[in-house]
Amino acid sequence: MSDNHEGEKLVIFDTTLRDGEQSPGISLDPKEKLEIAEQLARLNVDYIEAGFPVASIGDFEAVQMIAEQVQGPIIAALSRTNLTDVDRCWEALKSAERARIHVFISTSPVHMTNMLKMNEAQVLSETRAGVARAKTYTDDVEFSPQDATRTPLDFMIEVLQAAVDSGANTLNIPDTVGYGIPWDFGALISYIRKSVSGTYILSTHCHNDLGLATANSLAGVQAGARQVEVCVNGLGERAGNAALEEVVMAIKIRGDQFPGISTQIKTEELARTSRLVSRLTGYPIQYNKAVVGRNAFAHESGIHQHGVLSDRTTYEIIDAESVGQKGSQIILGKHSGRHAFSDSLQKMGISLKGDELNTTFTRFKELADRKLDITEADLEAIVAEELQLTTTDTFSLEELHVVGGTVGTPTAKVVLSSSSGKVEASADGNGMIDAAGQAIQKATGISAKLIGFSVSSVTGGVDALGDVVVQLESNGVKVSGKGISTDVVEASARAYLNAINRLSRQLARTSEAQKEVGP
């Protein structure tokens, strides 16, 4: 491996839109993926892995849209070694200013025997063919031996050498099942550097099954890896992936342990990126999450409070403002005009025009009538909610009336609008929120099972916006929906209807796909 690391820059390869979206219950529309990708560009990541084009039509469209519209980061997409997969991957990526094809194949005995049904010779042949095909499209080719940490060392070295010889210039070492231990994983990276000849960058891709994803990634960097694959908020399969914000801030704060190594991440954008991803995926951020959690800079103990008031550094190793956790708040109210609203969004790095600006401003004015002050966090929530309401939504909420209390059965009436006019329905329920959900199901004619419900406040205070996320399931299809309002029942109804609209689109796509395939 070349020891020239280009000034010891650590490449941040974000896979939130690919591996992160594989978290159970997350299903992002192409437009939502684009919104996250644009924020990742503002965060200044080096690579955005936009998806797995062969996986679905939606994934292909999302990768294609991001490749066409997002400037700055290099756009990557995942592909198996199968040649038609590689071709499909490039078809989605080809409009990008700069593009990378990320080719992978499993190399562990358990994967080869139970999943691939291949022997070592076949895996080697597939590796050479897949990487070589990718190289005909782009000079930027990454290769991953899936389940590397459970692969016999000699065979993995043979596969990695074949990948480099076939044109791969980044070798990614995936700890696919979170099996690694930091000192052992670091030793693995060191061994690969010494054993595989050629010029390439070594990369880590660590999962969190043992809670060691960030630690293993850092051990890899210390051992010579100069790319880390990460997800915002640590999203990903099962227990998730290494968290972008944790790896980046560990490198920044503990420079003594990583001398000369730095990233180009604009850390002031970390908190905003975290909140956006949380809202669009429906995955809440745990309060005690490192760097971006609500409690990351909170101090309950009197001793801690006294110390921080005297000098912040007594109990804080990170300046909250350096990660976007603190700073001047944008305060808007019901008297604010469209120009002030648009200007505030521009200062936050959010550019809306035309119908998007109009609908978001209308929602802002509606909420401003009920809430004295609208903060930056409120604005982010409003934008996140409105932008995922697409023109393809079948139903929108016109009216909601609920009756409840300690006496009598809670009831709800909804009036929805659709392309065919207005429709209304009433229903009883086990509480006002349940009644609203039942009424929406009646009005839309779409039945679904509620499998998840969470509510949190966007900001503090008695007039705080309630941020509700629901998860619904119908015929094996799982979707999430989001809604905000100063009234938690209304927020729940909006979230429920958002999920119903998503479910309608997903079921329609499935039906179309089945028609294309035929009996």
CATH number of the domain where residue 162 is located: 3.20.20.70
One-letter identity of residue 435: A
Which residues fall within 8 angstroms of residue 314, CB to CB, at 6 or more apart? 307, 308
- Indicate if 33 and 127 belong to the same structural domain: yes
Q: What is the pLDDT of residue 452?
A: 87
Distances in whole angstroms, Cα of residue 253 to Cα of each of 134, 217, 250, 317: 38, 16, 5, 8
Q: What is the pLDDT of residue 321?
A: 79
Tokens 């992160």 locate to: 20
Phi, psi of 162, deg, nearest 5: -65, -40
What single DSSP character describes residue 286?
P
- Indicate if 121 and 163 belong to the same structural domain: yes
Q: Work out the number of other CB atoms within 10 angstroms of the CB of residue 328.
A: 8
- Indicate if 198 and 93 belong to the same structural domain: yes
Element (H, E) at 399: strand 396-403
Rounded Cα–Cα distance for residues 394 and 402 (Å): 23
Q: Comparing C-alpha atoms, which of 421, 410, 384 is closest to residue 498? A: 384
Residue 56 lies in a domain: yes
Rounded Cα–Cα distance for residues 14 and 20 (Å): 9
- 360, 387, 414: which is the final residue of a domain? 387
- Indicate if 369 and 450 belong to the same structural domain: no
> Per the structure block, which two tokens stand in for 365?
């004015």
> Per the structure block, which two tokens stand in for 6?
């280009």
Rounded Cα–Cα distance for residues 384 and 23 (Å): 20
- Indicate if 29 and 112 belong to the same structural domain: yes
Give the total residue count for the chain: 519
- pLDDT, averaged in runs of 10, over the chain (519 residues): 60 97 86 94 98 93 97 98 97 98 97 96 98 98 98 98 98 98 98 98 98 98 98 95 97 94 95 91 87 70 54 72 63 73 77 83 80 70 68 80 88 90 92 94 92 80 77 83 87 91 75 49
The parent domain of residue 204 ranges over 11-281
Per DSSP, helices labelled H in 266-337 are 270-281, 302-310
Tokens 């503990």 locate to: 254
Distances in whole angstroms, Cα of residue 471 to Cα of each of 101, 273, 478, 496: 33, 22, 7, 8
Residue 287 lies in a domain: no
- Indicate if 381 and 431 belong to the same structural domain: no
What is the C-alpha end-to-end distance of the chain, expressed in Å?
51
- Indicate if 218 and 246 belong to the same structural domain: yes
Q: What is the pLDDT of residue 481?
A: 83
- Indicate if 104 and 236 belong to the same structural domain: yes
Rounded Cα–Cα distance for residues 204 and 189 (Å): 9
Residue 34 lies in a domain: yes
Residue 320 lies in a domain: no
Q: Work out the number of other CB atoms within 10 angstroms of the CB of residue 442.
A: 17
- Indicate if 264 and 358 belong to the same structural domain: no
- Indicate if 359 and 422 belong to the same structural domain: no
Per DSSP, helices labelled H in 76-152 are 83-93, 109-111, 120-135
Q: What is the pLDDT of residue 68?
A: 98
Q: What is the pLDDT of residue 76?
A: 98
- 327, 353, 387: which is the final residue of a domain? 387
Pairing between β-strand 47-49 and β-strand 141-146 as defined by DSSP bridges:
unpaired
User: Taking the C-alpha atoms of 154, 157, 163 and 168 in order, what is their torsion angle to the nearest 10 degrees?
Assistant: 170
- Indicate if 22 and 101 belong to the same structural domain: yes
Rounded Cα–Cα distance for residues 298 and 245 (Å): 18
Q: Structural domain tally of the chain?
A: 3
- Indicate if 242 and 360 belong to the same structural domain: no
Which residues fall within 8 angstroms of residue 347, CB to CB, at 6 or more apart? 330
Residue 329 lies in a domain: no
Contact 42, 7 (CB under 8 A): no
